Amino acid sequence: MSNDLNLNYLPRLPRRKDWRIGCVGAGFIMRDCHLVAYRQAGFNPVAIASRNLETARSVAELHAIARCHASIADLLSDPEIEVLDIAVPPQAQAGVIRLAIERKRNLRGVLAQKPLAMSVREAREVVELCERAGVVLAVNQNMRYDQSIRAMKDVLGRGWIGQPVLATIDMRAIPHWMPWAQGLRSLSTFVMSIHHLDTFRYWFGTPDRVLASTRPDPRTKFAHGDGLNLYILEYDNGCRAMSCDDVWTGPAREGTEGDIYIRWRVEGTDGLARGTIGWPSYPEKTPSTLDVSSKHLGGVWQSPRWNEVWFPDAFVGTMAQLLCAIEDGAAPEISGRDNLETIALCEAVYHAAREHRATTVGEFLDVAR
């Protein structure tokens, strides 16, 4: 690793690594990301369950998890589990959390997938339920722990680019839509664009206005409205952020050469930063990158590099922030309550595109109360 700028791009780890974690779900994201990262970090998954018992058994065997429960309900009654790691479709997640709060008296924390829910109203109900029960709720907005995204947050905090002027994310990549995505009220906004929207919130805070446009993706055959998403976030301090979330990228799977990438850029009054996201190369392990040129760093390009990658290494951070919060008696970095504004920002983008108007995050937060 070469990181001469000594940037804060790695997560803080908990003092105690043996928190007993119960895993709900045994699909790709749990099998190939969460559990790989947890073993790497020395965390302690002790039980697993999913809708399909045989799938759960195979994942338990693969990752040496001691107990495989016959059902999710059985796992939620396991008295040894202290922390729940939930990886189920968004339309099922709220029900799992409600049942967990109802059944588990010793539950300390929950790591929920993004999107926390498919509406602000349901997300708020989950957040308030956990708060009343004294259970710490964190959300797995894992792009915040992509190494370049986290390093850029540190660059912003050090003031190296001055006042942010314009930030862009240019995504030309083809997601693999899971079967559960069919029939959702929103596709790209709540499943893909949510990564970039939450990243902009992480870097700059919640925007004051939103403009957006969308169209269906020609490759995706099931019915959907929001496929290719374009949106602009306006901040009253003058900053602008925009993203092109192009899930088509041209006929790269229909006979032409591909040009697949994700690039980002942040321009400020004192400097410029640019980066790439390595995720489109998965399962090849391609680290994301950051280059920064700043008046405070001599005006030349600085290019720190690292060996870690988003998938699966970032998933150490999303669990670690929950465990640290439990130990500290504090809110996690990506708390359920903070994440309400990301869900509301998704709503603002979704409605701005459908209704051809400028929207605000506040109108969706307020209507859900």
pLDDT tens for 263-308 read 999 999 999 999 999 999 999 999 999 999 999 999 999 999 999 9
Positive or negative CA dihedral for 294, 244, 140, 45?
negative
- Write out pLDDT tens, residues 75-133: 999 999 999 999 999 999 999 999 999 987 789 999 999 999 999 999 999 999 999 99
Is 219 part of any domain?
Answer: yes
Q: Are residues 70 and 167 part of one domain?
A: no
Helix (H) or strand (E) holding 242: strand 240-246
Average confidence (pLDDT) over 3-15? 92
Give yes or no for residue 74 having a pLDDT over 90.
yes
Helix (H) or strand (E) holding 92: helix 90-103
Residues 145, 318 contacting (CB under 8 angstroms): yes
pLDDT category, 2, cuts 50, 70, 90?
Answer: low
Torsion of CA 30, 88, 148, 233, to 10 degrees: 170
Mean pLDDT score across all residues of the chain: 96
CA 351 to chain centroid: 21
Is 138 part of any domain?
Answer: yes
Residues 293, 300 contacting (CB under 8 angstroms): yes
Residues 125, 137 contacting (CB under 8 angstroms): no
Interatomic CA distance for residues 88 and 98, integer angstroms: 14
Between residues 367 and 330, the one the model is more confident about: 330
pTM of the model: 0.96
pLDDT category, 367, cuts 50, 70, 90?
Answer: low
Q: Residue 75's closest CA among 47, 52, 54, 101?
A: 47
Q: Are residues 134 and 282 part of one domain?
A: no
Interatomic CA distance for residues 80 and 63, integer angstroms: 19
Contacts of 307 (CB under 8 A, 6+ apart): 1, 287
Average confidence (pLDDT) over 327-344? 98
Is the link from the previous residue into 287 a cis peptide, with omega within 30 of 0?
no
Q: Are residues 131 and 251 part of one domain?
A: no
Q: Are residues 280 and 256 part of one domain?
A: yes
Full domain range(s) for residue 156 = 146-310+343-353
Strands (E), 74-223: 83-86, 109-113, 136-140, 164-172, 209-215
Q: Are residues 265 and 221 part of one domain?
A: yes
Residue-level pLDDT at 260: 97
Q: How many domains does the chain have?
A: 2
pLDDT category, 368, cuts 50, 70, 90?
Answer: very low
Residue-level pLDDT at 1: 43
Instruction: Indicate left, alpha or beta for 187 from its phi (over 0: left) and psi (-120 to 50: alpha).
Output: alpha
Is 13 part of any domain?
Answer: no
CATH number at residue 247: 3.30.360.10
Average confidence (pLDDT) over 170-185? 94
Give yes or no for residue 3 having a pLDDT over 80.
no
Interatomic CA distance for residues 115 and 123, integer angstroms: 9
